[in-house]
Amino acid sequence: MMIESNSSLKAFNTFSIEAKTQSLFHFKTLQQLPELLALVKRVRAEKRPVLILGAGSNILFCEDFSGLVIKVELSGVDIIESPESYQLQVAAGEDWHQLVTDSIDKGIDGLENLALIPGVVGAAPVQNIGAYGCEFKDFCESVEYIDLDSGEFFNLSAAACLFGYRDSIFKSKKMENALITKVTLTLPKKWQPHSRSGVSNQSDAAQKVTAKEIYHSVCQTRSEKLPDPEQLGNAGSFFKNPVVSKQQAEHLLNLYPNMPHYPQADGNIKLAAGWLIEQANLKGVQCGGAAVHQQQALVLVNQDNACATDIVELAELVRATVEEKFNVSLDHEVRFIGSQGETNLKEVLQHVRA
């Protein structure tokens, strides 16, 4: 039986927050599609929400979920080789890091900078995962999804996915019915290291370095820098790096000449949220069982049996302190899920404090 009732989601979110869902469906094969579509219809007729879930590494369950969670566990990887490239057709439930590891082991280079990002392949296009100067969009050819209302399949080209910084069309309201089933990636055989790969960038070293070396270097750097969710619950970077106007960045640079800043193509400037949080002396600060990570200020952790409210209160403390000190507003990258579906920090706080 693939449908469970009143199930705990603790094992299905990397914050390890206890929350229950009224219904849970494990979507393992496309043969289950008629059953799934009928279930979605029934749940929606009861005015209950539907949530598509991967590995829960970018989600905060703020309270029990009143609807249906569809846990996407579709599996399978097809590799099609041409003289110039490899095409990878990967089912949405495959583990992202395992895909990177297996490709590198097979001599298929390109994904090494994106090693050790938790989560499943189907979630990668949603926020256009990125690290060390590479993003999912750099390799994406197309994304296949099912519309959960009509049951129709669609295949969107990378251009139609409207990828941006931690963003894509799959985050927009009109795509909330889109359950991603498969992604197609193209990895050219002619490989070049990417500049911010975490290995020495001196020209000699950069010339000789292999994708496998970069892969190991990225894995090592990430394991040293980021807490392992298996040991300490977390959802990676809690906030997005804020983008401010050139004028505001110049004003801040006068006050803080060492502030990291990254000019964007549109003239605006991206700042490092982690640096702002650290400068606001928030490292190690706790709310109940939740804490700002000691080594990496951008990560909020479940230090000691935190409940969702602890994390929400801590996120608000960080947001408000950074705003007061720098006049920069931080937006959460982690998706907040309330009893009725997607919500945000402001709404959750109103609810918690009412």
Ligand X SMILES: Cc1cc2nc3c(=O)[nH]c(=O)nc-3n(C[C@H](O)[C@H](O)[C@H](O)COP(=O)(O)OP(=O)(O)OC[C@H]3O[C@@H](n4cnc5c(N)ncnc54)[C@H](O)[C@@H]3O)c2cc1C
Quick check: 95 and 78 in contact, CB under 8 A?
no
From 237, 313, 319, 339, the catalytic residue? 237
C-alpha–C-alpha distance, residues 174 and 323, integer Å: 31
Vertex 349: Cα angle to 326 and 290 (nearest 5): 75
Q: Quick one: 118 or 193, whose CB is closer to ligand X?
A: 118
C-alpha–C-alpha distance, residues 354 and 352, integer Å: 6
Contacts of 164 (CB under 8 A, 6+ apart): 128
Q: Does 226 bind ligand X (CB under 6 A)?
A: yes
Residue 87, both tokens:
């095409």
C-alpha–C-alpha distance, residues 3 and 25, integer Å: 5
The nearest distance, CB 112 to ligand X, in angstroms, is 13
Q: Site for ligand X (CB under 6 A): how many residues?
A: 34
Residue 157, both tokens:
């080209």
Q: Quick one: 249 or 345, whose CB is closer to ligand X?
A: 345
Decide if 42 is catalytic.
no
One residue of 49, 54, 67, 198 binding ligand X per CB under 6 A: 54
From 166, 222, 319, 335, the catalytic residue? 166
One residue of 9, 39, 40, 124 binding ligand X per CB under 6 A: 124
One residue of 17, 19, 23, 56 binding ligand X per CB under 6 A: 56
Q: Does 130 bind ligand X (CB under 6 A)?
A: yes
Choose one: 111-119, 195-203, 279-287, 344-352; the region binding ligand X (CB under 6 A). Answer: 111-119
The nearest distance, CB 49 to ligand X, in angstroms, is 11
Choose one: 41-49, 184-192, 230-238, 255-263; the region binding ligand X (CB under 6 A). Answer: 230-238
The nearest distance, CB 36 to ligand X, in angstroms, is 12
* Strands, sheet with 20-27, edge to edge from the N-terminal-most edge strand: 3-8, 20-27, 65-72, 50-53
Q: How many CB atoms lie within 10 A of CB 105?
A: 10
Q: Does 111 bind ligand X (CB under 6 A)?
A: no
Decide if 166 is catalytic.
yes
Site string for ligand X, 65-84 (x = CB under 6 A): -------x------------
Site string for ligand X, 332-351 (x = CB under 6 A): ---x----------------
Contacting positions for ligand X (CB under 6 A): 14, 51-59, 72, 92, 117-120, 122-124, 126-127, 129-131, 170, 178-180, 226, 229, 234-236, 335
